[in-house]
Amino acid sequence: MFDGVLQALLQGGLLGGYYAIIAAGLSLMVGVVRFINLAHGDMAVLGAMVTITLTEVGGVPVLWSIMIMLPAMALMGWVMHATLFQRAMRGGFLLPILVTIGLGAALQNGMFGLWGSNTRSLGASIGELSWASWILPGGIILGKLPVLIFVTAVVVIGALHLMLKKTKLGRAIRATASDPEAAEMCGVSSRQAHRAAAAIAVTLAALAGVFLAMRGQVTPYSGPAQLIFAFEAVVIGGIGSLGGTLIGGMVLGVSQSLGGLISPQGSLLAGHLVFVSVLIWRLSRDWARDHGGWRASLAISAIKLRRRLTGGAPAPDRAPSSKGAA
């Protein structure tokens, strides 16, 4: 039993690496560009499909396929932002949602047209990596591929963090995220910064897609589920925080694998439940902060509840603020 839990914790934590990579791209778009790309998961699948095709049809070694595919996807992200997202953003809050839902549907159907609906995988192309593992003391099994994915996630997120902190482009992207107009006053083209962020986001999605296809199978319609996982990791980790996406991804992965111990169907459900709990906790924490801390806000709720139950006696609407510091 204990071994099972340990095994699940370890596997879930490593799975978090995959979630972190796909979530980092989404988080970057939300935090910097203030744009929600609902086709993010479909772009991950597209990255996987292109890599599989290059490898299986073109006979290109897997690593080379990935090296060719990633810059191509970056370019696609850049062009997509310049031609589509940027215009959509000018049309209010609804248009970006509609445009990216439409884009997602177009990508799914396009991939279906090109590659059919069969499940595909990179597992066969990476040889023993797909099943090789280390046996730790106590009989714990540690898959080499999950470890590779997790290490990649840490390296990629660390590199992205350094890029944002230490480079000219990174500073320009952060300045644009904080105040696009003030960034322009410093000579930064906010459009270029947004396009660069979109290119990075799509590249991250595509990389995650490759890992998805290495770990298991993908179909042209796998994208939306991945989008949801990415969203959950972003929300759990805190929007706009890169380190947070790594933690969010691991929390999601661990919840899923622990849920899987309870019942086979429990895996996804546990992930969603943790996501919803974190969301509710965040919202009520913010509400409490706006009402003078937990104690004061609970006092307000208690007073309101009592008033409703007793049907009347007017009570002070605000708890004494001196008690409310939390």
Partner 1 sequence: MMTRLIVENLTCRHGLLTAVRDVSFALRAGEVLCVIGANGAGKTTLMNAIAGTHRPVGGRIALDGVDVTAQPAFARVRSGIAMSPEGRRLFADMTVRENLLIAAENGRAGDWTLARVLQAFPQLRPLTDMPAGRLSGGQRQAAAIGRALLTNPVVLLLDEVSLGLSPAAVEGVYQSLAMIKEARTTTMVVVEQDLTRALGFADQVLCMAEGQTELQGMPGHLSREQITDAYFGIHDKELSDV
- One residue of 83, 168, 308, 317 binding partner 1 per CB under 8 A: 168
Select the span of 124-132, 165-173, 215-223, 226-234 touching partner 1 (CB under 8 A).
165-173
Q: At what angle do helices 94-115 and 223-237 cross, to 10 degrees?
A: 140
CB of 17 to partner 1, least distance (A): 27
Tell whether residue 241 is a contact of partner 1 (CB under 8 A): no
Total number of residues shown for the chain: 326
Give the SS3 label for residue 265: coil
Tell whether residue 27 is a contact of partner 1 (CB under 8 A): no
Select the span of 138-146, 174-182, 226-234, 254-262 touching partner 1 (CB under 8 A).
174-182
CB of 194 to partner 1, least distance (A): 13
How many angstroms separate the CA atoms of 192 and 189, rounded? 5
Tell whether residue 186 is a contact of partner 1 (CB under 8 A): yes
CA 75 → CA 52, 72, 80, 110, distances in Å? 19, 5, 8, 19
CB of 145 to partner 1, least distance (A): 37
How many residues of this chain bind partner 1 (CB under 8 A)? 17
Residues 189-208, one symbol each (x = binds partner 1 by CB under 8 A, - = not), give xx------------------
How many angstroms separate the CA atoms of 147 and 161, rounded? 21
Select the span of 54-62, 82-90, 169-177, 213-221 touching partner 1 (CB under 8 A).
169-177
CB of 99 to partner 1, least distance (A): 24
Specify whether the backbone of 258 is left (phi greater than 0), alpha (psi in -120 to 50) or beta.
alpha
Token pair 């660390």 is at which residue?
Answer: 158
Tell whether residue 182 is a contact of partner 1 (CB under 8 A): yes
| CB of 39 closer than 8 Å to CB of 32 | no
CB of 87 to partner 1, least distance (A): 16
Tell whether residue 171 is a contact of partner 1 (CB under 8 A): yes
How many angstroms separate the CA atoms of 302 and 308, rounded? 10
Please, which residue, 188 or 199, has the CB nearer to partner 1? 188
Burial, 150: exposed, middle or buried (Cβ in 10 Å; 0-12, 13-18, 19+)? Answer: buried
Q: How far is CA 289 from the centre of its chain?
A: 27
Residues within the interface to partner 1 (CB under 8 A): 168, 171-172, 174-175, 178-179, 181-190
